[in-house]
Structure 1
Amino acid sequence: MFTGIVQATCKVEKIIEKAGLKTFEVALGTELLQGLKHGASVANNGVCLTVTELRDNIAIFDVMEETLKLTNLGNVKQGDLVNIERSLTYGSEIGGHVLSGHVHTQATVKTISHTAEHYNILLEVDEKWLDYIFYKGFIGINGCSLTVGEIEGNCFWIHLIPETLSITNLSDLQQSSLVNIEIDSQTQVIVDTVAKIMARKFAD
């Protein structure tokens, strides 16, 4: 489990293509490496990956073909920065909201509005996911716990503060960039439960 509070952006030093997967070698700082062990879970752009090897300041992850297809890790290149968060430990402060590291879909950057007063991004998602996206609700974007802004059709705004921009890779986004989306699990359960109850009611 994760909190959606990104701890650092880390450089992908090397990507090795293998049959059915890619191996990512990611340079983690000393603080992130402290106590990290083989088999630990680490979120990369919001995707829960397992540490398969540790070497000096490098953590190595195998990314399966299905994950590459469903998330923006398939577009990551050597030298890119990925948002990193280590898994939640018992007793840790949850500053964001609980994330599983299982990406539901991707969203496309439609517009970036950057002025001296604000930094806003308009994201477009497949219409079927809008049932779970609410104004002022929680959402995970590239592993960042964020609050949903205004909704326009099948698009929604996010409003970023300087701190978020400084410690994540969201400041690197451009028009047409793809971001990983994790829907808030509690919202999904509530919406799906209500839909089932209503479907049964009208079926009677």
Structure 2
Amino acid sequence: MFTGIIEAIGHIESIQMGADDARIRVRAGKMSMSDVKLGDSIATNGVCLTVVEMDAHHFTADVSNETLRLTNFGIYKAGQKVNLEKALMPTSRLGGHIVSGHVDGVAKVSAINKLSRAIDYWLELPKELVRYVAYKGSITVDGTSLTINAVEENRVKLTLVPHSLEETMISDYQVGTSVHIEVDVLARYLERLLLSTQKDENNPSGLTLESLTKAGFA
């Protein structure tokens, strides 16, 4: 599990493509590798990867065929910048929101509007993910926990302050940039719960879509 608070901007030094998967070597930038062990998880542009080799400044991870198919790792080249975050520890502050590192889909930057110091980014989401986003809800973009400031059909607006722009690779985004999206896991669990209770005629908890709506959860 992760928080979506980026620790460093790294970059991919090499990609070795195999028949069905790939192995990548990542330079960790300012992220300390001193407490990383083989088998640990590191979110790399929001994708949870397992460390199979490491040294003081790098880690190597295998990327499965499924990940290559569903994310941008299939088109990344050596030199690609990546947001990095080590897995959450029980003693860590939960500064963002709960992030699993399991990317739900790929979105595209559709507009960028510069404000006085901050920047608004509009993302066009896949239609199947729109139902999981909400005004002032959380979303993960290339591993970064962000707040949704507007929802218009299948687009969401995200406002980045200078600190976030400095500490992540988002400042490199341009119109058309493809990004990894992970929706709030609570939205997925709520959907599953609603589907289960709607199909279950014997619902001892009394939990229904109507009751959740009245309580402000749906």
If the TM-score is normalised by the length of the shorter chain, which range does it land in?
over 0.9
| Structure 1 counterpart of 2:155 | 155
Displacement after TM superposition at 1:56 (Å): 4.5
Provide the aligned length of Structure 1 versus Structure 2.
Answer: 201
TM-score by length of 1: 0.92
| Structure 2 counterpart of 1:81 | 81
1:99-148 Cα distance to aligned partner (Å, 9 max, x none): 11001111111111124343011111122211110000011111011111
Structure 1 residues 136 and 57, CA gap change in structure 2 (3 angstroms): same
| Structure 2 counterpart of 1:142 | 142
What one-letter code is carried by the residue in structure 1 that aligns with 2:172?
D
1:173 aligned onto 2:186: no
Identity of aligned residues (%): 36
Structure 1 residues 40 and 54, CA gap change in structure 2 (3 angstroms): same
| Structure 2 counterpart of 1:116 | 116
Displacement after TM superposition at 1:29 (Å): 4.0
More strand by share: 1
| Structure 2 counterpart of 1:27 | 27
Displacement after TM superposition at 1:22 (Å): 1.6
Q: Is the 8 A contact 1:5 1:85 kept in 2?
A: yes
Take 2:30 and 2:172, find their aligned partners in 1: how far apart are those partners? 24
Take 1:77 and 1:130, find their aligned partners in 2: how far apart are those partners? 29
Take 1:14 and 1:45, find their aligned partners in 2: how far apart are those partners? 16
What one-letter code is carried by the residue in structure 2 that aligns with 1:90?
P
Q: Is the 8 A contact 2:7 2:31 kept in 1?
A: no
Q: Equivalent residue of 1:33, what SS?
A: coil
How large is the Cα RMSD of the aligned pairs? Answer: 1.6
Q: Is the 8 A contact 2:33 2:56 kept in 1?
A: no
Name the larger-Rg structure: 2
| Structure 1 counterpart of 2:46 | 46
Show structure 1 runs of 4+ deviating over 6 A. none
Structure 1 residues 113 and 199, CA gap change in structure 2 (3 angstroms): farther
Listed as ranges, the gaps of 5+ residues in structure 2 are 202-218
Take 1:16 and 1:55, find their aligned partners in 2: how far apart are those partners? 18
| Structure 1 counterpart of 2:95 | 95
1:70 aligned onto 2:70: yes
| Structure 2 counterpart of 1:58 | 58
Q: Equivalent residue of 1:108, what SS?
A: strand
Structure 1 residues 115 and 78, CA gap change in structure 2 (3 angstroms): same
Q: Is the 8 A contact 1:49 1:62 kept in 2?
A: yes
Q: Equivalent residue of 2:32, what SS?
A: helix
1:129 aligned onto 2:129: yes
Q: Is the 8 A contact 1:131 1:191 kept in 2?
A: no
Take 2:39 and 2:100, find their aligned partners in 1: how far apart are those partners? 16
| Structure 1 counterpart of 2:11 | 11
Q: Equivalent residue of 2:189, what SS?
A: helix
Q: Equivalent residue of 1:151, what SS?
A: strand
Structure 1 residues 162 and 30, CA gap change in structure 2 (3 angstroms): closer
Q: Is the 8 A contact 2:9 2:30 kept in 1?
A: no
Q: Is the 8 A contact 1:32 1:86 kept in 2?
A: no
